[in-house]
Structure 1
Amino acid sequence: MTPEVLLVFVLAAVAVIVGVRWLAARTGLPAAAILPVVGIVYALLPGPNIALEPEIILTFVLPPLLYSAALDSSLLAIRRNMRIVVSLSVILVLLTALVAGLGFHLFVAGATLAAGVAVGAAIAPPDPVAALAVGRRVGLPPRLVTIIQGEGLLNDATALTILSFAAAAAVGEEFSVPRAIGQFLLAAAGGALVGAAVAYAVRLLRPLGKDPLMANAISLATPFVAYLLGEELHVSGVLAVVIAGLIVGHHTPRSSSGASRLQTSAVWRLVDFLLEGFVFLLIGQQLPEVIRNLREYHTSTVVIAVAIAVGATLLIRPLWLALTQLLPRSLHTRLGSESGKREEKLGGREVVALSWAGTRGVISLAAVFTLPLVTDSGAPFPDRDLLLFCTFVVVLVTLVGQGLTFTPLVRLLGLRANEVDEARIRNEARSASVRAALDRLDEIDHEDHDDLDTQAIEVMRAQLEHRLHRYQGRLDLLQSSDSPEIPVSPRYEAALRIRRAAIDAQRAELLRWRDAGTLPDESLRRLERELDHEERLLPERTS
């Protein structure tokens, strides 16, 4: 593919991603489910395709996506739900791989246990992108969002480690269960240590993080440094990226400036948008090639193999979730929490929602594509094409099937976050922060400094007291509401409309000055940034 053709392909892909995003926003359908279908349609048309290169995905795509998700997660919330997160991201992944392996070994002609475990490891880790996009839009309760996030962050390391062991056993290398367990624990512990070390190094660079451009450069480089360092030390590079992201995200509010946080957040949103879009398009484009490689298999063999893979994916997850909730309450303890404190069990509706949130994605395909074409002895890897097809079907079934039905399912279950409680907590926090500022003003006012401007202090105090009064009014309205929906205050909404209208008028006047030649473009951009920051402070909705 020539550079010109590649450029046209990339531009066309960006256009498709933007179009699908627009369609998803207006239909409520998840973009992650639409894009693979578009990719399949394109792959069936004449023209060039881009093959999925697993090493590129694992090295250049997976680290930034995982790091961005970790930055956006809550380290404290994941710790509070650590038991179920570990249950889903480690034990369930291992169980899925073993069940799929046994199914292939027992019912697929000629398939080995190791090859079955390999495909089971590939299809085991859910990719939470589609589920989280839908969950946030429909107001999924915060605890379920945390569980889906935590599982998606940690399960990839488990799956890739199991896959490497199974692939080695499939090509005839000596395999020992105790040694495999020891290597897994070493890889996990080493990855966590590497991630913590990288996060500590980022904190040492905190003085540079005050500058937005340098903060962005450091942030974009961090996941690749963590991944490469982990892989170089033969530990889990994936887990190193996740741990680094969780720790850095937890400490970012203390270690970076407001301008740096705003710019870094915007950059990562763009990276996520483009990478996820390209990846899901790429998933769809692989289908024709995968199907062409199945000619040597009997139809019944393919059907049985697909049924085992899809069945293991769809059935083991709800069974495991239901089983873990039936355990005695004494086993529901929070790891790392206060002694004796219980982790709240999941309800039936929550189990159903989490069961259907197991969409598979690019990690599954990238993982299974890492299986070698031939072994060291020169023989073909056993049933590689069949394993690829089974993984592809699982990804499509879950991405499209579960992705398109997750929204109506959540609404049918009536699982919604209590928006009033969340808004009340936010306004209580706002009020507390304003009171802290007022207390600090009082301390400054009583300090004996000749250069203090009493009038400036009084102006700031008046502004803070007005803001506190506004927050208190919102709190009174929220506390008096009996509805789970956030109550609308006509006065508050009118104030927001007036502030937006005033900002629009200011922008229009600045442009008139620029067009008349009175205001230089550099000054216009500076004044526009001031208005942009002021507008960004306005809520998109009442909260």
Structure 2
Amino acid sequence: MVIFEWVVGVLLGAVLLAALARRVGAPYPAFLALGGVALAFVPGVPNLKLDPELALALFLAPVLLDAGYDTSLRDLRANWRPIGGLALGAVAVTTVAVAVVAKAVVPEMPFAACVVLGAVVAPPDAVAALSVLRHVPLPHRLTTILRGESLLNDAGSLLIYRLAVAAAITGSFHPGEIAPTFLLGVVGSLVAGPVLAFVYVAVMRLFADAASVIVLQFVAAFGIWIAAEGLEMSGVLTVVSFAITVARFSPGITPPRTRILSYAVWDTAVFVLNVLAFVLIGIQIGPILDRLNEAEQTTALILAGMVFLTVVLVRIAWVLPASGLDRLEFASHRRPRPGTSDAALGLKAALALSWSGMRGIVTIAAALALPQGGENGGFPYRDLIVFTAFCVVIGTLVIQGLTLGPLLARLGLEDDDPVGREVGRARAEAYAAALDSLDPQESESTAALRQEFVAALKEAKTHEEGLAPETLPADDARRRAISAARDRVLALRREGGIGDDAYYVLEEEFDWAELNVTPRAET
């Protein structure tokens, strides 16, 4: 009962902290991190422990599936160079740099354990960065880069993490094992994810009620992660490729009401998982500090401070020179298409990107997943790694997270709203398709409906970019019109005419419009 009361109190506190974060325009994970610090020093906090083998599956599988579902393949392809550089190059360099720093500060720490620490703190967390960006207009391309980086860097860092953990536990490392592990982890995952997605889409056609569909979504997230890990593939890449594939092929099988409820449930689940992650790691800090003597506490604080500076400086050192080379290459070629990876990043954008490297739930989950028990805590220097990881998360979320908003405002970056323009143009085509679907043998109500669409299209034609107004009909005949509009927008996405961000905006509009004209019994 005591644990249940604590959970209820923690969730209430988290909601209040998140509300305060939104009011001041800060990322809510920063406030959750501060709450975790406070819990570390509250007397009487229950000593909750999580099975290390459960940590990665519990915290990462649903978060990655949710992020992967919202990812635009078109935008990823258009920005593959900066995303690949951050997700692979920056993660690798950060891991090595942190390992070298850790070995210098704590010479007796095995180098494999140092690499584990580097892999734990290497991947930034897009949830924290994007929660700031909701309050400050930012070019769509930067948001795309941050989202893409957060998906792919987890796979690279966790691959290094698993190899280093195995080396630290066994005391040996064989370079010949890297290639097969990499091939199985990457290639196998990229094949298995889409295959499982097609199976999932076929199975989901058998279910219609919202509760069953949403439960099966979570079963898929956890089940696919567990299966991938059991087959020694990458759980991250398998779940992400599965989610991206499902997002492309499932719109026609999910009723609007179920989809809207599903989005709300998943937003809540991701929030609760962030809360639990910060609570679980926060309440471990007190016992860790109690187990360290004064000299060890000093060493731990020094290591945490040095690792924090390393992850911040490495990202800046990686992004800014890459931005300079990008501009030089850009100047030597003809003008590229805006918004693509061929466009120069720009110094202001590079500054914003370099300061958006907050760490979050991935770092916490990887730290909590280290083996416990046995001699020396189960994993060499586990307490020191967990403490350092928590301090890096706190430092990046508080220092970078609370200053990112003012920095973006100071830089004056403007979003030219490509998603808004795509929405407006796609809406015009959708209205035209809806107009064509109306029965030529018009009733009085259908004639009125036709006039609404004609007026909307006329306004679109007078707009300099052909953007249609945000209006939709709402009577019984409109269900056919909405269905035709939805089909046209889906076709535009498949053809690459619009990106996923624009598609999801319109999909939500059509969902609500369809709900307005559909009896509850049919939803």
Relative to the length of structure 1, the TM-score reads 0.78
Deviation at 1:135, TM superposition (A): 0.9
User: 1:209-288 counterparts in 2 under 5 A?
Assistant: 210-288=208-286
Identify the residue that residue 146 of structure 1 maps to in structure 2.
Answer: 144
Flag the 1:351–1:328 CA change in 2: closer, same or farther, 3 A: closer
Identify the residue that residue 410 of structure 1 maps to in structure 2.
Answer: 408
Partner AA of 1:312 in structure 2: T
Deviation at 1:437, TM superposition (A): 1.5
Partner AA of 2:74 in structure 1: L
Partner AA of 1:366 in structure 2: A
Flag the 1:220–1:372 CA change in 2: closer, same or farther, 3 A: closer
User: 1:119-518 counterparts in 2 under 5 A?
Assistant: 119-208=117-206, 210-295=208-293, 297-298=295-296, 301-327=299-325, 343-373=342-372, 381-419=379-417, 422-441=419-438, 444-445=439-440, 454-456=441-443, 459-470=445-456, 472-473=458-459, 476=462
In structure 2, how many angstroms separate the alpha carbons of the residues matched to 1:228 and 1:299? 37
Partner AA of 1:158 in structure 2: G
Identify the residue that residue 491 of structure 2 maps to in structure 1.
Answer: none
In structure 1, how many angstroms separate the alpha carbons of the residues matched to 2:100 and 2:165? 15
Partner AA of 1:79 in structure 2: R
Partner AA of 1:51 in structure 2: L
Flag the 1:38–1:174 CA change in 2: closer, same or farther, 3 A: closer
Deviation at 1:50, TM superposition (A): 4.8
Instruction: Tell which deviates more after alignment, 255-264 or 113-122.
Output: 255-264
User: 1:28-177 counterparts in 2 under 5 A?
Assistant: 28-53=25-50, 54-177=52-175
In structure 2, how many angstroms separate the alpha carbons of the residues matched to 1:75 and 1:186? 23
In structure 2, how many angstroms separate the alpha carbons of the residues matched to 1:136 and 1:94? 29
In structure 2, how many angstroms separate the alpha carbons of the residues matched to 1:187 and 1:108? 32
Deviation at 1:474, TM superposition (A): 7.0
Relative to the length of structure 2, the TM-score reads 0.81
Deviation at 1:404, TM superposition (A): 1.1
Flag the 1:300–1:15 CA change in 2: closer, same or farther, 3 A: closer
Deviation at 1:120, TM superposition (A): 0.4
Flag the 1:49–1:350 CA change in 2: closer, same or farther, 3 A: farther
Partner AA of 1:364 in structure 2: T
Partner AA of 1:70 in structure 2: G
In structure 1, how many angstroms separate the alpha carbons of the residues matched to 2:458 and 2:127? 37
Deviation at 1:114, TM superposition (A): 1.6
Instruction: Tell which deviates more after alignment, 295-304 or 128-137.
Output: 295-304
In structure 1, how many angstroms separate the alpha carbons of the residues matched to 2:328 and 2:403? 35
Q: 1:150-175: CA deviations, max 9, x gaps?
A: 11112222212211211222234331
Q: 1:244-277: CA deviations, max 9, x gaps?
A: 1111122233442322322222221221232223
Deviation at 1:86, TM superposition (A): 2.1
State the secondary structure of the residue aligned to 2:109. coil
**Alignment partner of 1:17 is 2:14:** yes
Question: Unpaired runs of 5+ in structure 1?
Answer: 333-337, 446-453, 482-488, 497-531, 538-543
In structure 1, how many angstroms separate the alpha carbons of the residues matched to 2:143 and 2:395? 22
State the secondary structure of the residue aligned to 1:246. helix
Flag the 1:318–1:297 CA change in 2: closer, same or farther, 3 A: same
Instruction: Tell which deviates more after alignment, 185-194 or 272-281.
Output: 272-281
Q: Is the 1:209–1:255 contact (alpha carbons within 8 Å) kept by the matching residues of 2? A: no
Partner AA of 2:164 in structure 1: A
Report percent identity of matched pairs.
33
Q: Is the 2:326–2:344 contact (alpha carbons within 8 Å) kept by the matching residues of 1? A: no
Deviation at 1:176, TM superposition (A): 2.7
Flag the 1:82–1:468 CA change in 2: closer, same or farther, 3 A: farther
Flag the 1:299–1:13 CA change in 2: closer, same or farther, 3 A: closer
Partner AA of 1:344 in structure 2: A
Identify the residue that residue 524 of structure 1 maps to in structure 2.
Answer: none
State the secondary structure of the residue aligned to 2:171. coil
Instruction: Tell which deviates more after alignment, 320-329 or 404-413.
Output: 320-329
RMSD: 3.2
In structure 2, how many angstroms separate the alpha carbons of the residues matched to 1:321 and 1:52? 38
In structure 1, how many angstroms separate the alpha carbons of the residues matched to 2:299 and 2:249? 52
In structure 2, how many angstroms separate the alpha carbons of the residues matched to 1:379 and 1:302? 16
Q: Is the 1:226–1:241 contact (alpha carbons within 8 Å) kept by the matching residues of 2? A: yes
The number of residues matched between the two structures is: 468
Flag the 1:478–1:221 CA change in 2: closer, same or farther, 3 A: farther
State the secondary structure of the residue aligned to 1:205. helix
Deviation at 1:238, TM superposition (A): 1.9
Q: 1:360-419: CA deviations, max 9, x gaps?
A: 1122122123333468x9896433322222212111101111111111111111123224
Instruction: Tell which deviates more after alignment, 310-319 or 174-183.
Output: 174-183
In structure 1, how many angstroms separate the alpha carbons of the residues matched to 2:46 and 2:349? 41
In structure 1, how many angstroms separate the alpha carbons of the residues matched to 2:446 and 2:218? 38
Deviation at 1:123, TM superposition (A): 0.3
Flag the 1:311–1:29 CA change in 2: closer, same or farther, 3 A: closer
Identify the residue that residue 525 of structure 1 maps to in structure 2.
Answer: none
Partner AA of 1:22 in structure 2: A
Question: Unpaired runs of 5+ in structure 2?
Answer: 331-336, 473-510, 517-523
Q: 1:264-313: CA deviations, max 9, x gaps?
A: 22221221232223323334333322322332744663354224311221
Q: Is the 2:59–2:365 contact (alpha carbons within 8 Å) kept by the matching residues of 1? A: no
Q: 1:209-238: CA deviations, max 9, x gaps?
A: 554344323322221121011012111112
